[in-house]
Amino acid sequence: MRFRVPQFIDIEDKLFGPLTFKQFTYLVGGGGLMYVIYRIIPFWIAIFIILPIAGLSLLLAFYKINKKPFIYYLNAGITYYISSKLYIWKQRLVKPGDKKEESVPEPISIIPKTTADSIKDLSWSLDIEDKK
């Protein structure tokens, strides 16, 4: 018995002419927002708000980076900007005129010593656990 395997599952369906549903939504949303701004604010002020909105809606609808839609990168950028950052290390600059220099103690490295008896005991315990 043969089964049909779906192909081209990563391609979205074109619902509105050459546009997918997402593209259509981005363009209609941007156009509606631009119309509302045009009706509320005088044109010479509104043009400075309308142009970035038009650019963003066109980017969201058509622009892809590395075969991924622009919305993924916009989401990652906003998330990075809003989220708290964890800084692990910050370099301390010591001025040449300072006499006080901080000495950092050397980390102590402890290397466990192994003997033939401890290795035999370990292998014996592993053999016993495997047989249970």
By the 8 A CB rule, do 50 and 37 touch? Answer: yes
Instruction: Give the span between the Cα atoms of 26 and 54, in whole angstroms.
Output: 10
Q: Examine the pLDDT at 129 and tell me if it is beyond 60.
A: no
The residue with greater pLDDT, 82 or 117, is 82
pLDDT band, residue 22 (cuts 50/70/90): very high
Q: Examine the pLDDT at 132 and tell me if it is beyond 60.
A: no
Q: Tell me the mean pLDDT in the region 18-40.
A: 95
Residue holding tokens 């050459």? Answer: 18
- What residue type is 41 in one-letter code? I
pLDDT band, residue 100 (cuts 50/70/90): low
The residue with greater pLDDT, 20 or 89, is 20
The pLDDT of residue 73 is 95
The pLDDT of residue 81 is 93
The predicted model scores a pTM of 0.58
By the 8 A CB rule, do 2 and 8 touch? Answer: no
Neighbours of 49 (CB within 10 A): 14
Q: Examine the pLDDT at 98 and tell me if it is beyond 80.
A: no
Q: What mean pLDDT value characterizes the chain?
A: 84
